[in-house]
């Protein structure tokens, strides 16, 4: 069920491509090297997502990006970037022309990329001279991934140099840069060039990373952006001269074309393993020019280290997807428990198990480590290690009016509270989880976590206890049992935050977040991001008393009313109230009373429709539907059933997003509602989209600026919910397919996307410790990002790609729920 149809046969061997040609996908390609020219554009979240401009892919790895005119040598995430006006591709002449502009400066320019054998001629063309305001600022930049050049060398006009492993270059103070960065003390600074030349050769010793750039005139400067920010890149830059028009900058860009190079096969498989009865499919990813063929083997490993071949076969051709071809080796019939490995044409996987208890412990790192690490307003300790101190005791100040924050928050024209802008709002310094790799508390994420954990408790009742949580002492001790189920303790932590919003201001707020760029980019201990003291403007900067400080580092609370947030919070409070019974009856009663109070108030008047980014709740009708369902399940009151039935006609056209909720509420609803939901469930269960997608993995791989592991987990959970309600409609095999994908059966590599789960997993990720090139066990990364038009990417050697590698706290509870579903099916 839901299997993708077989595609065309694998390509026959192509002749070696020794020169760059502009292909049907509109990028330049030769063996071992491709050059993309504005195939992507920035995703709208931030100006700089490292996914656009001129980009270079060599030996299958994207090692350069953001080839464009920029206004500083090493621009950061919020620095201005040009706006694309037009992109014209002329395949006949092998030329791509892109027109861009900086409207604020009245500056329009063109970037032309023209094939030239194994090189690309890259040119900046001006019809009008560079505006005076941009003199000495505007230049053609091309950024190179630092981890691709660690331990590598370069030549600058024939003079050798070495790329530094860590930033140690010369800096110069720049007050202008200080203002842009939001620093509140000390001068800002920018790096000086590591080298200057007309001809640069990067990594001459390594064909996989070798790139040559020669300037027709003027100078190339090589910078190390990591001196300015841990996520900075190596940058090659050529300034645009003033007073000139026409071809003002011209580079000859020569990537590492390697005639005959072919990417080695990648054996996609579960790094964790398989239960005996599930489908077991290794998806083998092949270079398009690979003829395929050869036999795959399943090897059984004995305790003495000896190996036996259990199964041999020729993988079945699947066809093409994105830039690669695929074949499938099915070993579903092998059910005997044991330790196994896969081999194919010189490639061999790590060992994995076939066992009935494969998934039994997969969720433990998430609940034992990741979720405690993300707990805000607590000191979190793990044996000899303090993950962070008691953070943000100074929460929170009222956000200023009509203010748009750098990270998707916005305050409207009023505060909608009794507090003046900048005034301290007491009571918000309790509970909640740090949202992601940064340090804000985003309310929609908080209520998503509480609901998912409550649903796990409803259905599976996991009583695992490995974490000590003491809210009185504001302290967490990991791997120390305290006699209480960890999931209930985490639910209580989230409910405490949700309740604090109503105690403090009377309604749900968007969240609390650091006020400026300098604090937002903080890495390390969350407790060191603020001084923990309430801001007092009457004190001098840096002056302190026992309780107050003159340093305005307190996080801001964004408080414009949005009914979607209130309904979402009410849903979580109602679900949390169920789960907290018998654990904390007082908090359970408070949560339910708040949920019912919020519902009654929202029903008594027109909704507040303030909306901005992803911080003000989801679709209003959907949030209301969720609240009615959770209140119905918790209380059984007919008024909520009536509301649910009344909302269903609006929800039904988008039922895929609310089907789990509808299925959970179904036992509390009349037979007519059950019939409606069953019809939708049947339709979902019998269609291929969105449960699979046109790919060999049988899951919905998304193509936006944020990778799609969340959608894949939701697919599995929805399938399980349908199976639980209507077993005859589906066998819920999608649960295993989703977990196989997360654990390594996916494009680009075979790493498990769940850190610390599986033989080889994500060990370089975008968590609070990303500057250490490390990970947080149990965190789930977004996964494979599709760099348009056809490049699947998840970089393991560079943690700062947030769209691929950033943990978000609600992903782990969803993964924990999916693993529990798999365990239930396995039993």
pLDDT at 612: 95
pLDDT at 176: 62
| pLDDT surpassing 90 at residue 1 | no
Indicate where the chain has its CATH 1.50.10.10 domain(s). 387-457+485-634
Compute the average pLDDT of residues 361-381.
Answer: 98
| pLDDT surpassing 90 at residue 742 | yes
Compute the average pLDDT of residues 576-597.
Answer: 98
Q: Does residue 156 contact residue 244 with C-beta atoms inside 8 Å? A: no
pLDDT at 549: 97
Nearest to 366 by CA among 816, 778, 754: 778
Compute the average pLDDT of residues 43-59.
Answer: 84
Distance CA 729, CA 635 (A): 30
For 472-509, write each residue's pLDDT tens digit.
999 999 999 999 999 999 999 999 999 999 999 999 99
Compute the average pLDDT of residues 251-257.
Answer: 98
| pLDDT surpassing 50 at residue 631 | yes
What backbone phi and psi angles, to 5 degrees, belong to 804? -110, -35
Compute the average pLDDT of residues 640-648.
Answer: 98
Please spell the DSSP secondary structure of 561-596, one letter per residue.
-BHHHHHHHHHHHHHHHHHHTTT-HHHHHHHHHHHH
Compute the average pLDDT of residues 221-250.
Answer: 97
What secondary structure, in 3-state letters, does 678-710 show?
HHHHHHHHCCCCCCCCCCCCCCCCCCCCCCCHH
Q: Does residue 684 contact residue 659 with C-beta atoms inside 8 Å? A: yes
Confidence of residue 5 (pLDDT cuts 50, 70, 90): very low
For 264-316, write each residue's pLDDT tens digit.
999 999 999 999 999 999 999 999 999 878 999 999 999 999 999 999 999 99
Distance CA 663, CA 548 (A): 51
Distance CA 814, CA 738 (A): 12
Give the burial string for 691-703 (b: 16+ CB within 10 Å, else e). Answer: bbbebbbbbbbbe
Confidence of residue 656 (pLDDT cuts 50, 70, 90): confident
pLDDT at 177: 54
Percent of the chain whose predicted confidence (pLDDT) is above 70 = 95
| pLDDT surpassing 70 at residue 180 | no
Query: What three-state secondary structure class fits 297?
Result: strand
pLDDT at 169: 87
Nearest to 594 by CA among 442, 440, 450, 449: 450
What backbone phi and psi angles, to 5 degrees, belong to 103? -60, -35
| pLDDT surpassing 80 at residue 83 | yes
Indicate where the chain has its CATH 2.60.40.10 domain(s). 266-354
For 102-111, write each residue's pLDDT tens digit.
999 999 999 9
pLDDT at 8: 35
Mean pLDDT across the chain, nearest whole number? 94
Phi-psi category of 245—alpha, beta or left, where left has phi over 0 and alpha has psi -120 to 50?
A: beta
pLDDT at 46: 66
**Domain boundaries 21-254, corresponding CATH code:** 2.70.98
CA 592 from chain centre, in angstroms, equals 33
| pLDDT surpassing 90 at residue 70 | yes
Compute the average pLDDT of residues 371-388.
Answer: 98
Cα 75-78-80 angle, rounded to 5 deg: 70
Q: What are the distances in angstroms from CA 18 to CA 15, 204, 257, 383, 541?
A: 9, 18, 7, 56, 62
Q: Does residue 806 contact residue 790 with C-beta atoms inside 8 Å? A: no
What backbone phi and psi angles, to 5 degrees, belong to 321? -145, 125
Distance CA 584, CA 469 (A): 13
For 124-154, write each residue's pLDDT tens digit.
999 999 999 999 999 999 999 999 999 999 9
| pLDDT surpassing 60 at residue 11 | no
Q: Does residue 359 contact residue 275 with C-beta atoms inside 8 Å? A: yes
| pLDDT surpassing 80 at residue 42 | no
What backbone phi and psi angles, to 5 degrees, belong to 768? -65, -20
| pLDDT surpassing 60 at residue 4 | no
pLDDT at 181: 46
703 vs 419: which has the higher pLDDT: 419
- Bridge partners (DSSP) of residue 57 are 34, 62
Confidence of residue 44 (pLDDT cuts 50, 70, 90): low
Q: What is the DSSP letter of 174?
A: -
pLDDT at 7: 37
The pTM is what?
A: 0.95
For 187-199, write each residue's pLDDT tens digit.
778 999 999 999 9
Fold observed for domain 266-354 = Immunoglobulin-like (2.60.40)
44 vs 410: which has the higher pLDDT: 410
pLDDT at 240: 98
**Domain boundaries 387-457+485-634, corresponding CATH code:** 1.50.10.10
pLDDT at 517: 87
């Amino acid at each position: 069920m839901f299997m993708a149809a077989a595609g065309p046969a694998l390509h026959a061997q192509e002749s070696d491509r020794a020169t760059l040609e502009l292909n049907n996908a509109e990028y330049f390609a030769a063996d071992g090297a491709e050059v993309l020219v504005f195939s992507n554009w920035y995703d709208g979240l931030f100006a700089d997502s490292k996914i656009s401009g001129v980009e270079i892919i060599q030996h299958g790895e994207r090692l350069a990006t953001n080839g464009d005119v920029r206004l500083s040598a090493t621009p950061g995430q919020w620095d201005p970037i040009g706006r694309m006006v037009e992109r014209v591709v002329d395949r006949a002449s092998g030329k791509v022309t892109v027109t861009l502009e900086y409207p604020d400066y009245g500056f329009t320019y063109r970037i032309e990329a023209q094939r030239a054998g194994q090189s690309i001629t890259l040119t900046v063309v001006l019809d009008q001279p560079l505006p005076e305001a941009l003199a000495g600022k505007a230049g053609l930049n091309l950024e190179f991934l630092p981890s691709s050049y660690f331990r590598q060398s370069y030549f600058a006009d024939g003079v050798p140099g070495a790329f530094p492993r860590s930033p140690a270059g010369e800096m110069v103070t720049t007050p202008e840069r200080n203002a842009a960065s939001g620093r509140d003390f000390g001068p800002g600074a920018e790096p000086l060039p590591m080298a200057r030349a007309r001809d640069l050769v990067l990594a001459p010793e390594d064909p996989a990373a070798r790139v040559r750039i020669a300037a027709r005139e003027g100078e190339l400067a090589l910078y190390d952006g990591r001196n300015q920010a841990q996520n900075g890149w190596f940058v090659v830059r050529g300034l645009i001269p003033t007073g000139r028009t026409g071809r003002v900058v011209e580079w000859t860009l020569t990537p590492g074309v390697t005639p005959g190079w072919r990417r080695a096969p990648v054996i996609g498989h579960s790094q964790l393993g398989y239960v005996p009865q599930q489908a077991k499919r290794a998806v083998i990813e092949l270079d398009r020019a690979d003829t395929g063929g050869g036999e795959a083997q399943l090897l059984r490993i004995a305790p003495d280290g000896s190996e036996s071949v259990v199964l041999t076969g020729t993988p079945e051709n699947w066809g093409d997807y994105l830039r690669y071809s695929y074949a499938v080796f099915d070993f579903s019939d092998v059910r005997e428990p044991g330790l196994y490995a896969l081999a194919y044409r010189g490639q061999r996987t790590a060992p994995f198990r076939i066992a009935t208890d494969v998934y039994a412990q997969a969720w433990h790192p998430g609940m034992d480590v990741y979720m405690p690490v993300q707990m805000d307003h607590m000191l979190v300790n793990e044996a000899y290690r303090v993950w962070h101190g008691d953070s943000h005791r100074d929460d929170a100040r009222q956000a200023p009016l009509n203010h748009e924050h750098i990270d998707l928050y916005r305050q409207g024209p009023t505060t909608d509270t009794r507090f003046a802008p900048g005034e301290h709002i007491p009571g918000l310094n309790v509970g909640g989880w740090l949202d992601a790799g940064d340090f804000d508390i985003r309310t929609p994420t908080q209520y998503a976590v509480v609901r998912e954990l409550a649903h796990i408790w409803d259905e599976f009742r996991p009583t695992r206890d490995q974490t000590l949580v003491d809210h009185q002492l504001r302290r967490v001790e990991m791997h120390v049992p305290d006699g209480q189920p960890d999931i209930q303790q985490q639910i209580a932590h989230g409910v405490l935050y949700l309740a604090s919003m109503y105690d403090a201001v009377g309604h749900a707020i968007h969240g609390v977040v650091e006020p400026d760029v300098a604090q937002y980019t903080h890495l390390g201990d969350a407790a060191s991001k603020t001084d923990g003291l309430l801001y007092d403007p009457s004190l001098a900067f840096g002056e302190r008393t026992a309780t107050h400080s003159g340093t305005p580092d307190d996080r801001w609370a964004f408080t414009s009313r949005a009914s979607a947030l209130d309904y979402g919070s009410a849903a979580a409070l109602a679900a949390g109230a169920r789960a907290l019974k018998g654990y904390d009856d007082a908090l359970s009663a408070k949560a339910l009373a708040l949920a019912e109070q919020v519902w009654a108030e929202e029903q008594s008047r027109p909704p507040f429709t303030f909306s901005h980014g992803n911080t003000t709740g989801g679709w209003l009708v959907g949030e209301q539907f969720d609240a009615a369902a959770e209140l119905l399940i918790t209380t059984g009151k007919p008024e909520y059933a009536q509301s649910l039935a009344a909302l269903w006609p609006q929800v039904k056209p988008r039922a895929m997003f609310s089907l789990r909720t509808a299925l959970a509420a179904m036992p509390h609803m009349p037979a007519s509602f059950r019939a409606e939901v069953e019809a939708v469930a049947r339709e979902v269960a019998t269609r291929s989209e969105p449960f699979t997608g046109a790919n060999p993995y049988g899951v919905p791989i998304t193509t936006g600026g944020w990778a799609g592991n969340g959608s894949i987990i939701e697919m599995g959970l929805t399938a399980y919910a349908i199976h639980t309600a209507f077993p005859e409609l589906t066998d819920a095999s999608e649960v295993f397919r989703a977990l196989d994908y997360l654990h390594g059966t996916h494009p680009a590599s075979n790493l498990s996307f769940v850190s610390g789960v599986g033989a080889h997993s994500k060990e370089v990720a975008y968590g609070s410790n990303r500057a250490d090139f490390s990970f947080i066990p149990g965190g789930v990364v977004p996964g494979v990002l599709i760099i348009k038009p056809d490049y699947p990417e998840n970089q393991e050697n560079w943690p700062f790609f947030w769209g691929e590698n950033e943990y978000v706290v609600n992903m782990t509870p969803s993964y924990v729920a999916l693993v529990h579903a798999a365990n239930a099916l396995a039993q």
